[in-house]
Structure formats: C-alpha cells, structure tokens
C-alpha cells in the first residue's frame, strides 16, 4: 500500500506520517517512510537521533528522461532495491527512511526535479518486488499534486485542523487528488480539543464529501516531545494521540 499525507502548513503532516510509520512497523510491517518535503524533518518524528549528521538524500541524478514517441517521460535509473541500499536510512522499529525533497544546493531554482523524483520513486516501487508500505510526507503546497507526484498512491490523507483555512485548503487538495484519479481520499482531523471542534470538522467535511478517517486529539505530549526533538513514540508511546493513530492503523490493514 502506498499512502500520501497532505495538508496546509503546520497542520501535523510530519507528526502524523512519522507516527503512522512507527505504529505500522511495530505491527510487523515493512515500512518505507518518504520525506518529500524540501525542508525535510521526518527523521526526528521517526526517532532518528537529531544529532546524527544528515543522511544522503535522493537527488535528480537517479532519474533520466526518456523519449516516449512525441513526448518525454522520466524513469528511475537504478533498481528499487539498490535505491534502498544506497539511500535508505534505518530508523527505530525497522522503518527505512528515504529523503527526497531536499534540493542539493540552495538557489538551484525550481523544485520540479525533486517532485519528479518522488513521483517516479513511487512508480518504481510499484513495479518492483518490494512490498513495503510506503508513507509519503509531502510539503505544504499543491506542488506535489500539480506535478502528479501523488498519481501512483493508493490513498491520500488530508490532515486538517479545526480552523476554517485549513479545512478550506483540504477541500482544494482533495479536489485535485480526485482529478489525479486517486480513488481513496480521506481527512485526518488533527489537534482536536473538544466535541465542538470535532463537530465543526465533521460539518465541513460532510459538505465537501470528504470522509474522516480518524480524529487525533490535541496532545500536550506531542508538543513536549517536539520541544525535545524526540519522536512521540519514544517520549510516551501510550499518549492519547498515539492511541488514536493505533486505532486508525488497525482499521486500514
Ligand atoms: N495532535 C497534536 N497535538 C499537539 N500538537 C501537535 C499535534 N500534531 C502536531 N502537533 C504540533 O504541530 C506542529 C506542526 O506539526 P508538523 O511539523 O507535524 O506539521 P506539518 O504539517 O508537517 O508542518 P509543515 O507544513 O511545516 O511541514 C508541531 O509543533 C507539532 O508538534
Ligand atoms: Mg512537515
């Protein structure tokens, strides 16, 4: 299964992506975490020591342009397993992390390269023997969608917070995801403090026809873990947000 996590800036995409990876891996699944944000920070949420030097990230070197009749397409040059052994970083619970979004150098211009790498990486995984569950943490913009990065995912989750602009953005993301042909698009309601907030999200999502997969409560332990640069799983694995994500993961596989 290949899933992508999207949504407006700061809604909790990385926190949710990393925690889903850890929970899936603790259930015995092989998990590939893809950091597709040009400002990557999934490694901390996965529980990789923040003092470790940054791992090698995938660059546009791994893809090549090939002529396909009248147009050009891209493909990954290396076999998928070689990508994993060259660029994969081991994280706690046996999760493997691949960092894709980071531009090689500041000021190298357009992000079209890394977006294409993410897209072709997912494509390449689909056509390989690799059966790991892939979780893609995306950046807070419509770029991944516009560039078709998410075209090959099975499911897309829009993380929403209980405030209007986040919900409104989720509506736009969801619409674009549907245009890309992703059949399963859901909301993940995050940082929910009370019934009133849950009801506001329910009402908006019902209007835009976006089913809600899970309500993740606002959890002070996440904030505290974040302040220390730790994964919530290592800070307090019984925390209420983790429990909600565990229930959610049970329901998806
Ligand atoms: N359920 C939660 N309860 C409390 N705080 C949370 C929760 N989920 C996320 N946060 C906090 O919200 C902030 C943003 O989280 P995160 O970095 O995961 O968001 P993001 O959507 O990935 O952001 P960006 O758009 O910058 O990539 C962080 O400080 C994080 O600790
Ligand atoms: Mg993020």
Encode pLDDT of 67-102 as tens digits: 878 888 888 888 889 999 999 999 999 999 999 866
CB-based burial label for 70 (10 Å; 0-12, 13-18, 19+)? exposed
Ligand 1 neighbourhood includes 218 CB (under 6 angstroms): yes
Q: Which one-letter DSSP state was computed for residue 211?
A: -
Alpha-carbon distance 246 to 229, whole Å?
22
Which ligand lies nearest the alpha carbon of 6? 1
137: CATH: 3.40.50.300
Ligand 1 neighbourhood includes 20 CB (under 6 angstroms): no
Q: Which pTM value belongs to this model?
A: 0.93
Which residue out of 5, 9, 10 has the highest number of ligand 1 atoms within 8 Å of its CB and is therefore the one to mutate? 10
Task: Give the residue, by CA position, lying nearest to ligand 1 atom 14.
Answer: 10
Task: Give the residue, by CA position, lying nearest to ligand 1 atom 26.
Answer: 10
Which residue out of 9, 222, 243 has the highest number of ligand 1 atoms within 8 Å of its CB and is therefore the one to mutate? 222
Task: Give the residue, by CA position, lying nearest to ligand 1 atom 15.
Answer: 12
Q: Which atom of ligand 1 is nearest to the CA of 223?
A: 31
Walking along the chain (253 residues) 10 residues at a time, the average pLDDT comes out as 91 97 96 89 95 86 82 85 93 94 55 74 79 88 69 89 93 88 93 98 95 98 97 97 97 82
Number of domains the chain contains: 1
Which residue out of 9, 15, 216 has the highest number of ligand 1 atoms within 8 Å of its CB and is therefore the one to mutate? 15
**Torsional sign, CA 11, 12, 16, 18:** positive
CB 27 within 8 A of CB 133: no
Task: Categorise residue 176: left if φ over 0, alpha if ψ from -120 to 50, beta otherwise.
Answer: alpha
Ligand 1 neighbourhood includes 13 CB (under 6 angstroms): yes
Q: Which domain holds residue 170?
A: 2-252
Q: Residue 145: which of 176, 183, 184 has the closest Cα?
A: 176
Alpha-carbon distance 113 to 167, whole Å?
29
Ligand 1 neighbourhood includes 190 CB (under 6 angstroms): yes
CB 118 within 8 A of CB 100: yes
Q: Residue 46: which of 245, 250, 229, 214 has the closest Cα?
A: 229
125-155, pLDDT tens digit by residue? 877 777 899 999 988 777 666 666 677 888 9
User: Each residue of 139-166: b (16+ CB within 10 Å) or e?
Assistant: bbbebbbebebbebbebbbbbbbbeeeb
């Amino acid at each position: 299964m290949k899933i992508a996590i999207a949504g407006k800036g700061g809604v909790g995409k990385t926190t949710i992506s990393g925690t889903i990876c850890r929970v899936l891996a603790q259930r015995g699944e092989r998990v590939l975490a893809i950091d597709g944000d040009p400002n990557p920070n999934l490694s901390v949420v996965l529980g990789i020591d923040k003092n470790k030097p940054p791992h090698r990230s995938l660059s546009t070197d791994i893809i090549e342009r090939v002529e396909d009749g009248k147009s050009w397409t891209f493909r990954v040059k290396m076999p998928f397993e070689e990508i994993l052994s060259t660029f994969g970083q081991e994280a706690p619970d046996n999760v493997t992390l691949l960092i894709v979004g980071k531009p090689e150098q500041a000021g190298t211009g357009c992000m079209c390269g890394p977006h294409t790498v993410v897209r072709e990486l997912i494509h390449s995984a689909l056509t390989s023997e690799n059966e790991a569950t892939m979780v893609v943490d995306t950046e807070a913009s419509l770029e991944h969608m516009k560039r078709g990065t998410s075209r090959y995912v099975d499911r897309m989750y829009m993380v929403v917070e209980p405030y209007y602009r986040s919900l409104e953005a989720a509506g736009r993301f969801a619409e674009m995801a549907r245009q890309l042909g992703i059949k399963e698009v859901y909301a993940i309601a995050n940082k929910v403090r009370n019934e009133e907030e849950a009801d506001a999200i329910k009402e908006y999502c019902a209007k835009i026809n976006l089913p809600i997969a899970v309500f993740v409560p606002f959890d002070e332990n996440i904030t505290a873990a974040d302040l220390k640069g730790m994964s919530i799983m290592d800070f307090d694995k019984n925390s209420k947000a983790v429990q909600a994500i565990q229930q959610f993961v049970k329901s998806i596989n």
